[in-house]
């Protein structure tokens, strides 16, 4: 979350008035993320996040806002949009679609433990099950066709080494869209900074935010995207690799709620590579096509490239991972 469209306090007050949440007593820019303009808004009645959507078409926002409301209504711990007095989930600010979302308490975790990863796996599985009866469609606009198109656009700017790896991996993933795996609505961006931990009770509870990459695709791909961020071996940096105990814990947590099929287990190495490819391509784009923002933080695209290389070199290890994990969770 960053600021591409500056907003004054007076403009924010005018926008928030439609929600009847009271007058603004504090208003701050948010310096994280790379897609939308975001602001912390505190009113006399509560704390919120005001988001201006910079690139997402308004008709797609019906899916995102509706999904968040649907999941919240099913008891999933996630950010939920606020309705205006007229019952609308979306408004307009500075000529762009905008929304007011309840601000969750707590903060993110930079270096998760096994227990943290287990909890993340469980909440991701609960999301997949809770979203199964949400009927609005959304294609994965960052799927295989986007990978090919983005690689082609970047070819003139990327290094010879980057182009070689991109072409080789795209050829490997050529049949990605034809895999016979369970599909459903996925978060598709459940990185460490997209979960806030509320700190209440014996164990902090993971709460999900930032659903603006959510779509219909392979459930397993969503797990791989999550593992590729939550289960990194930070002690090995700048080398990129997964930490086995955290990976095991996240998959254990997930499978206690939704056991993986045999086909999913067999496709695990390919999904890790596909997830790494998607993230790397996105970060290459942010690097070679920087956007003007007062607060945007750049992503470490060379590290993402090294993670993809790690998965390619260790595909045989990943293929045997579920043999090590055991079948207990899958028989529940």
Q: Look at phi and psi of residue 49 and say left if phi exceeds 0, alpha if psi is from -120 to 50, else beta.
A: beta
Residues 54 and 146 both lie in one domain: no
pLDDT tens per residue, range 93-147: 999 999 999 999 999 999 999 999 999 999 999 999 999 999 999 999 999 999 9
pLDDT over threshold 90, residue 299: no
Burial of 208 (0-12, 13-18, 19+ CB in 10 A): buried
Neighbours of 154 (CB within 10 A): 18
Residue 279 pLDDT: 96
pLDDT over threshold 50, residue 274: yes
Residues 66 and 162 both lie in one domain: no
Residues 323 and 228 both lie in one domain: yes
Cis ω for the linkage preceding 238 (within 30 of 0): yes
Query: Could you tell me if 42 and 24 are in contact, meaning their C-beta atoms sit under 8 angstroms apart?
Result: yes
Residue 50 — φ and ψ, nearest 5°? -100, 125
Provide the CATH number for the domain around residue 94: 3.30.200.20
Residue 322 pLDDT: 85
The residues pairing with 24 across neighbouring beta strands, listed in sequence order, are 43
Residues 168 and 235 both lie in one domain: yes
191 pLDDT band, cuts 50/70/90, is very high
How does DSSP assign 48-80, residue by residue? Answer: EEEEE-SSS-HHHHHHHHHHHHHHHHTT--B--
pLDDT over threshold 50, residue 202: yes
Residues 169 and 309 both lie in one domain: yes
> What is the number of residues in the chain?
332
- Return the ∠ at Cα 142 (arms to 138 and 143), rounded to 5°: 90
Domain count, the chain: 2
Do β-strands 37-43 and 195-197 pair in parallel, antiparallel, or remain unpaired? Answer: unpaired
């Amino acid at each position: 979350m960053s600021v591409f469209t500056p907003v004054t306090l007076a403009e924010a007050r005018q926008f928030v008035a439609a929600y009847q949440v009271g007058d603004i007593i504090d208003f701050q820019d948010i310096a994280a993320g790379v897609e939308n303009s975001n602001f912390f808004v505190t009113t006399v009645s509560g704390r919120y996040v005001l988001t201006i959507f910079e690139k997402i078409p308004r008709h797609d926002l019906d899916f995102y806002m509706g999904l968040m409301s649907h999941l919240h209504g099913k008891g999933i711990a996630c950010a939920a949009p606020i309705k205006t007095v007229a019952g609308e989930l979306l408004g307009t600010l500075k000529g762009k679609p905008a929304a007011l979302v309840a601000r969750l308490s707590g903060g993110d975790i930079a270096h998760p433990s096994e227990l943290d990863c287990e909890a993340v796996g469980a909440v991701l599985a609960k999301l997949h099950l809770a979203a199964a009866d949400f009927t609005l469609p959304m294609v994965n606009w960052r799927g295989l066709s986007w990978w090919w198109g983005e690689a082609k656009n970047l070819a003139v700017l990327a290094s010879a080494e980057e182009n070689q790896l991109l072409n080789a991996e795209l050829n490997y993933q050529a049949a990605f869209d034809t895999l016979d795996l369970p599909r459903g609505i996925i978060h598709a961006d459940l990185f460490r900074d997209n979960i806030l931990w509320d700190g209440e009770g014996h164990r902090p509870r993971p709460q999900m935010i930032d659903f603006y990459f959510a779509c219909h695709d392979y459930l397993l791909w969503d797990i791989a995207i999550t593992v590729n961020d939550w289960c990194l071996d930070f002690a090995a940096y700048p080398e990129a690799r997964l930490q086995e105990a955290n990976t095991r814990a996240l998959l254990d947590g997930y499978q206690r709620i939704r056991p993986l099929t045999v086909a999913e287990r067999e496709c695990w190495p390919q999904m890790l590579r596909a997830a790494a490819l998607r993230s790397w391509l996105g970060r290459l784009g942010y690097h070679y096509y920087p956007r003007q923002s007062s607060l945007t933080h750049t992503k470490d695209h060379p590290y993402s490239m090294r993670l993809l290389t790690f998965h390619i070199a260790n595909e045989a290890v990943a293929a045997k991972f579920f043999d090590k994990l055991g079948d207990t969770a899958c028989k529940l």
